[in-house]
Amino acid sequence: LSSLHERTVDLIIVSGEINQAGTVMEHLFDDQLSFIMSPNHRLAGNAYIEGSDIVGEDFITYTRVPEPDREYARLFRPSNCYPNWTETVEVPEAIVEMVAAGLGISVLSSWAVSGAIGSGRIVAVRVGEQGISLPWYAVTRSGTSFEDQCNQRLATILARWCRDNGGIMRRTG
């Protein structure tokens, strides 16, 4: 968000709500978190994973800071079951490559891993029996300048595109 306020970027896409003065949020889509693993992982045949399933697993994450409504708050903490925290990798594509190589498991948004799932490089299952769904938003500055108004309009167009295309961002290529 600091990059947005410092005008380094004009629009950011985030999961979860941000209640910060000076911003406007446009809902883009809702997406499930996916527990991802290599196709030959012992949990690959499960319909979903529970907290007890991840005990002792090597877990690759993009942040060790617990976020509300994510796997830590909704799966690990309630079950008092935790994986081995092995790596913090801030690039989802790098996490997918590590998981595909059998170096650990992870939890990422389904849209971010759909290409790797489709190619069979990784397998994904629900996080918990009911799953965990996250809202995704486009966030812009709430200013009234021409630039800010254009960015807000762009966020609205992006939200409409997401709604018109099944509510998810589809990867191409």
Reply yes or no on whether the pLDDT at 140 is more than 90: yes
Residues 18 and 42 in one domain: no
Query: What is the pLDDT, as a whole number, of residue 91?
Result: 93
111: closest CA among 37, 15, 27, 7?
Answer: 15
Residues 122 and 156 in one domain: no
Residues 103 and 141 in one domain: no
158: closest CA among 22, 11, 21, 36?
Answer: 11
Query: What is the pLDDT, as a whole number, of residue 139?
Result: 96
The pLDDT tens digits for 21-30 are 999 999 999 9
**Better-predicted residue by pLDDT, 100 or 66:** 100
Residues 36 and 101 in one domain: yes
Reply yes or no on whether the pLDDT at 18 is more than 90: no
Task: Give the span between the Cα atoms of 149 and 78, in whole angstroms.
Answer: 43
Task: Count the domains in the chain.
Answer: 2
Task: Give the span between the Cα atoms of 52 and 62, in whole angstroms.
Answer: 21
Query: What is the pLDDT, as a whole number, of residue 62?
Result: 85
The pLDDT tens digits for 38-89 are 999 999 999 999 999 999 999 999 887 777 778 888 888 889 998 988 788 9
Residues 140 and 108 in one domain: no
Structure tokens at 55: 């005990």
Q: How far is CA 39 from the centre of its chain?
A: 20
Query: What is the pLDDT, as a whole number, of residue 172?
Result: 47
Asked if residue 169 is part of any domain, the answer here is: no
Residue 160, domain extent: 2-29+135-164
Residues 40 and 122 in one domain: yes
Q: What is the DSSP string of 89-103?
A: -S-HHHHHHHHHTTS
Task: Give residue 168's pLDDT band: very low, low, confident or very high (50, 70, 90).
Answer: low
27: closest CA among 137, 120, 115, 113?
Answer: 137
Residues 56 and 120 in one domain: yes
Query: Lowest mean pLDDT: which of 97-106, 112-121, 139-148, 163-172?
Result: 163-172
Query: What is the pLDDT, as a whole number, of residue 173?
Result: 44
Mean pLDDT of 99-128: 95
Mean pLDDT of 122-146: 94
Does the pTM exceed 0.85? no
Structure letter (DSSP) for residue 105: B
b/e 13-46 (16+ beta carbons within 10 angstroms → b): ebbeeeeeeebbbbebbebebbbbbbeebeeeee
Asked if residue 172 is part of any domain, the answer here is: no
Residues 63 and 117 in one domain: yes
Residues 45 and 104 in one domain: yes
How many CB atoms sit inside 10 A of residue 68's CB?
Answer: 9
